[in-house]
Amino acid sequence: MKVISSEIIISAVKPEQYPESDMPEIALAGRSNVGKSSFINKMLNRKGLARISSKPGKTQTLNFYLINELFHFVDVPGYGYAKVSKSERAAWGKMIETYFTTRTQLKAVVLIVDLRHPPTSDDVMMYDFLKHYEIPCIVIATKADKIPKGKWQKHLKVTRQTLDLEQGDEIVLFSSETGEGKDQAWTIIERFLGV
């Protein structure tokens, strides 16, 4: 997709704050600090649109971005960050669950995992959650620039096996540093959007 325009619409924590339009949406999911916001920026060719940080827990709200007046990317706070209280974690869970299970125009979730390491138990839980609710998903294995090319396929295989990836679910090797996998990711997202 050629990105002509991209802008933040709203940061929401509850359904009343979601944009009212019935525009199709593609949401992100993944561990805190894995690179969800960086993925959005790379896909949009925008350096600082989605706020990123080397410290986990940067994204705290559901951030809706409007792309080409055509669809929303929805950036979400990550899971698995140790330094949050029980009550914060519960609030996060409720916010994410509400969005993922009630948003009718949600077309697919982009599950971001770290190519360098096997998916965590939280990653597996997230994938199973998406399967349970029959939410279409794409797995993006990011930070590929951090491991040598010769090891990519081996790491992809571990990712696929650990998630127990269902047949038909696509996995894309990605890097927000180099843009590796960007075209492939767009092709899949366009298919989910039906454009």
Residue 181 in contact with ligand GTP, rule: CB under 6 A: no
Q: Is 176 in the site for ligand GTP (CB under 6 A)?
A: yes
Q: For the purposes of burial, counting CB atoms within 10 Å of the CB of 92, is it exposed (0-12), middle (13-18) or buried (19 or more)?
A: buried
176 binds, among ligand GTP, Mg ion, none (CB under 5 to 8 A by kind): ligand GTP
Q: Dmax over Cα atoms in the chain, in whole Å?
A: 48
- Please report where in the chains the tokens 């330094």 appear, as a residue: 83
119 binds ligand GTP, rule: CB under 6 A? no
Q: Which is nearer to Mg ion, 37 or 175 (CB)?
A: 37
H or E segment to which residue 6 belongs: strand 6-12
- Mark 35-64 with x for binding to Mg ion (rule: CB under 5 A) and - for no binding: -xx--------------------xx-----
What is d(CA 195, CA 21) in angstroms, rounded to the nearest whole number? 18
Q: By CB under 6 A, name the binding residues for ligand GTP.
A: 30, 32-38, 52-54, 56-59, 77-78, 142-143, 145-146, 175-177
